[in-house]
Structure 1
Amino acid sequence: MARVRSAAFDDQRETILAQAAALFARQGYTATSMNEVAAACGISKPTLYHYVRDKHELLLSVAEAHVARLEALVAAVAVEQLAPRARLQALVSRFVLAYADAQHEHRVLTEDVKFLDAEARERVLAGERRVVAAFADAVHALRPELAEAALAKPLAMLLFGMINWMFTWLKPGGRYDHAAMAPVVVDLFLGGLGAVQAPGPQSASAAARRSTMTTKKETLL
């Protein structure tokens, strides 16, 4: 009979994945050692190997866990059975907000998956393809007349082109945060530049981060 993992085990593993993602995002996968991951988690290296076999498995776990969370968002929106426009709006808004809380994991997904072996990389990419397919289906539901031109997936990819790289320019402490920009992305994608409305006052989270900053950071917004 397979051993049932304890809640403490799962909590510790989540901590390890979060710390590893932060290190990979800051200094790169290849430049990060397992000693550094263990130190960041406050555990010994032998203890770290109790949770993951090696650094490759650690990278795979970070990437798969992030994609699984995104797939869960897609599933949650599907359960709501929204009208086509509301469904696409919900998907875009929730993904932008999810990226705000998982910027390290998202950077790892976009920059470090290439270091996985072919089989592991395909597992991650398969999950990403399912997410893209869900967005393409939402686009098709809203604009079914575009089916003959097979534009649903290209339009979904253009949308991801807008939101996937926000972490490279939307800086902590800037004028806007992800919560403020989510409706802007929705407006721009669904209505074009003429439909964009200026965000209201910055969110409380952005204001709090700005007020606690002790050093000046370069921002692009």
Structure 2
Amino acid sequence: MARPRSSGYDDQRELILRHAAALFATQGYVATSMNEVAAACGVSKAALYHYVRDKRELLESVCQAHVLRLQGVVAEVLGQGLAPEVQLRELIVRFVQEYASAQNEHRVLTKEVKLLEPEQAERVLAVQRAVVADFALAVAQVRPALQAAELHTPLTMLLFGMINWLFTWFRPGQPLTHAEMAPIVADLFFGGLAGVTVPATSSPESQPVRPRTRQPRKKETTS
């Protein structure tokens, strides 16, 4: 008979996944030991194995928890019965916000999922594909002709290209926050550069960045 779980089991498991994601993201899955994960969580290594069978299962759990959260965001937005464009904008905003608080998990998903066993990777990627499919249908609802031309999925992947890689270069507060960046991503997707609304907190357009001019080289003289 299986031992019953304690009342704090889920909270402790979430803590373990969060610390594991931080370690995997900063120093890599291969270079991280279970001893380090246990120490970061403040538990013994034996206690850690109460939550996961081994390090590879821990990696799968980090990735799976992340994509399931994204799937939950999609389900929540689609369940609101919003108009197509409002719905897609809300999806974009929510995903940018989600990635802002899950940068470690997203980095692990994009860089380390290939280290899983094939059946483990497939479980993660199946959820990821479902998220992309739901997002693509939301794109098609805005412009139904895109689905007929089989363009809704490629356009969705281009959109994810903007969202997914924000974490590699975006530094919030310089001068924009994630909350201010999210609608810019939506504006750019819907209208191209002409559709971007400049936030009041950013630098005025009247003060463009001036290109650096090359100084002429001094003529060398010989003595």
**Which stretch of the first structure deviates more once superposed, 174-183 or 105-114?**
174-183
Q: C-alpha distance in 2, partners of 1:62/1:74?
A: 19
Check conservation: 1:60, 1:116, Cα contact below 8 A: yes
2:116 counterpart residue number: 116
**2:75 maps to what in 1?**
75
Counterpart-to-counterpart distance in 2, 1:70 and 1:140? 19
- Which residue pairs with 1:16 in the alignment? 16
Asked if 1:64 corresponds to 2:67, the answer is no
1:53 aligns with 2:53: yes
Larger radius of gyration: 2
The one-letter code of the counterpart of 2:21 is: A
Residues in 2 aligned to 1:98 and 1:148: alpha-carbon distance in whole angstroms: 31
Structure 1 segment 92-107 matched on structure 2, within 5 A: 92-107=92-107
- Is contact 1:62-1:105 (8 Å) kept? yes
| CA-CA distance at 1:2 after TM superposition | 5.4
Give CA deviations for 1:150-191 in whole Å, capped at 9, x if unaligned.
Answer: 100000000001110110001255322321110100000011
Which residue is equivalent to 2:143?
A: 143
Residue in structure 2 matched with residue 87 of structure 1 by the alignment: 87
**Residue 154 of structure 1 aligns with which residue?**
154
| Higher helix content, 1 or 2 | 1
Do 1:13 and 1:51's aligned partners in 2 also have CA atoms closer than 8 Å? yes
Return the letter of the residue paired with 1:170: F
Question: What is aligned with 1:210?
Answer: none
CA distance in 1 between partners of 2:38 and 2:172 (Å): 27
Give the partner amino acid of 1:74. Answer: V
Q: How many equivalent pairs are there? A: 202
Assess if the C-alpha contact under 8 Å between 2:172 and 2:178 holds in 1. no
Mapped to 1, the partners of 2:18 and 2:112 lie a distance apart of 15
Q: CA deviation at 1:51?
A: 1.1
1:183 aligned residue: 183
Question: Alpha carbon RMSD of aligned pairs, Å?
Answer: 1.4
TM-score, structure 2 length as denominator?
A: 0.87
Give the corresponding residue for 1:166: 166
Contiguous gaps of at least 5 residues in structure 1: 203-221
Which amino acid in structure 2 is aligned with residue 188 of structure 1?
L
Conserved? CA contact 2:139–2:152, under 8 Å: yes
Cα distance in 1 between the residues matched to 2:70 and 2:3: 28
CA distance 1:4–1:91, shift in 2 (3 Å): farther
- Alignment deviations for residues 64-101 of structure 1 (CA, whole Å, 9 cap, x no partner): 00011000001101110111001100100000000001
Q: Secondary structure at the match of 2:8?
A: helix
Indicate the SS of the match to 1:192. helix
Q: CA deviation at 1:18?
A: 0.2
When the two structures are superposed, what TM-score results if normalisation uses the length of structure 1? 0.88
Q: Check 1:142–1:173 CA distance in 2 against 1; reply closer, same or farther (3 A cut).
A: closer
Letter in 1 for 2:86: A
User: Is the Cα contact below 8 Å between 1:180 and 1:199 reproduced in 2?
Assistant: yes
Gaps of 5+ in 2: 203-223
What CA distance in whole angstroms lies between the structure 2 residues aligned with 1:76 and 1:3? 34
Separation in structure 1 between the aligned mates of residue 78 and residue 95 of structure 2, nearest angstrom? 14
| Cα deviation digits, residues 91-120 of structure 1 (max 9, x gap) | 000000000011111111111101101000
